[in-house]
Amino acid sequence: MIKNKILVTGAAGFIGYHLTKQLLIQGYEVVGFDNLNSYYDIDLKKSRIEELNKTVGFEKNLFSFIKGDLENLDLLNQVFENHNPTIVINLAAQAGVRYSLKNPQSYINSNLVGFSNILESCRKFKIKNLIFASSSSVYGGNTKTPFSEKDNVDHPLSLYATTKKANELMAHTYSHLYDLPCTGLRFFTVYGPWGRPDMAPMIFAKSILENKPIKIFNNGEMARDFTYIDDVVEVILKLITKPATKNEKFKKESPDPSTSWNKYKIFNIGNSDVIKLMDFINILEEEIGLKAKKIYCDMQPGDVKLTSADTSSIYKWIGFKPNTPIREGIRSFINWYRKFYNY
Residue 137: predicted pLDDT = 94
CA distance 273 to 310: 10
Collapsed DSSP state (helix, strand, coil) of residue 278: helix
Check: CB of residue 110 under 8 Å from CB of residue 92. yes
| pLDDT (mean) for 200-208 | 95
pLDDT band at 58 (very low <50, low <70, confident <90, very high): low
- Rounded to an integer, the average pLDDT of 213-235 is 95
Q: Round to whole Å and give the CA distance between 343 and 340.
A: 8
> What integer is the mean pLDDT of 52-65?
79
Q: What gap in Å lies between CA 155 and CA 14, rounded to an integer? A: 28
Provide CATH code, domain 5-191+227-270+308-323: 3.40.50.720
How many helices (H) and strands (E) would you count in the chain?
A: 12, 13
216 sits in which H/E element: strand 213-216
Residue 30 CB partners (closer than 8 Å, separation 6+): 5, 6, 7, 8, 11, 20, 23, 24, 57, 62, 63, 64
Question: Phi, psi at residue 29, to the nearest 5°?
Answer: -90, 125
Residue-level pLDDT at 251: 95
Residue 169 has pLDDT above 90, yes or no: yes
**Three-class SS string for 222-265?**
CEECCEEHHHHHHHHHHHHCCCCCCCCCCCCCCCCCCCCCCCEE
* pLDDT at residue 272 in the model: 86
Q: Which residues contact 292 (CB under 8 A, 6 or more apart)?
A: 204, 207, 208, 213, 214, 281, 284, 285
pLDDT in tens, 59-94: 568 999 999 999 999 999 999 999 999 999 999 998
For all residues of the chain together, what is the average pLDDT?
94
Angle at 269 between CA 116 and CA 204, to 5 degrees: 100
Report pLDDT digits (tens) over 16-40.
999 999 999 999 999 999 999 988 9
Q: Which residues are catalytic?
A: 160
Handedness of CA 309, 312, 315, 320 (dihedral sign): positive
Position 322 scores a pLDDT of 97
pLDDT beyond 60 at 105: yes
Q: Is the pLDDT of residue 56 over 80?
A: no
* pLDDT tens digits along 179-188: 999 999 999 9
Q: Is the pLDDT of residue 226 over 90?
A: yes
230 pLDDT higher than 80: yes
Q: 18-46 b/e with 16+ CB inside 10 Å = b?
A: bbbbbbbeeebbbbbbbbbeebbeeebbe
Alpha helices in 64-158 (DSSP H): 73-83, 104-107, 114-124
The 10 Å Cβ neighbour count of residue 74 is 9
Using the predicted structure, report yes or no on whether residue 51 has a pLDDT greater than 90. Answer: yes
Q: How many CA atoms lie within 13 A of 83 on its CB side?
A: 28
| Predicted model pTM | 0.95
CA distance 188 to 148: 12
**C-alpha angle 308-247-269 in degrees, rounded to nearest 5:** 20
Secondary structure class of 308 (helix, strand, coil): coil
Domain ranges of the chain: 5-191+227-270+308-323
How far is residue 311's CA from residue 229's CA, in Å, rounded to a whole number? 16
pLDDT tens digits, 268-283:
999 988 999 999 999 9
Q: What is the pLDDT of residue 99?
A: 81
What's the start-to-end Cα distance of the chain, in Å? Answer: 44
Spatial neighbors of 339 by CB under 8 A, at least 6 apart, are none
pLDDT tens-digit profile of 109-142? 999 999 999 999 999 999 999 999 999 999 999 9
Residue 305 pLDDT exceeds 60: yes
Q: How many residues does the chain have?
A: 343
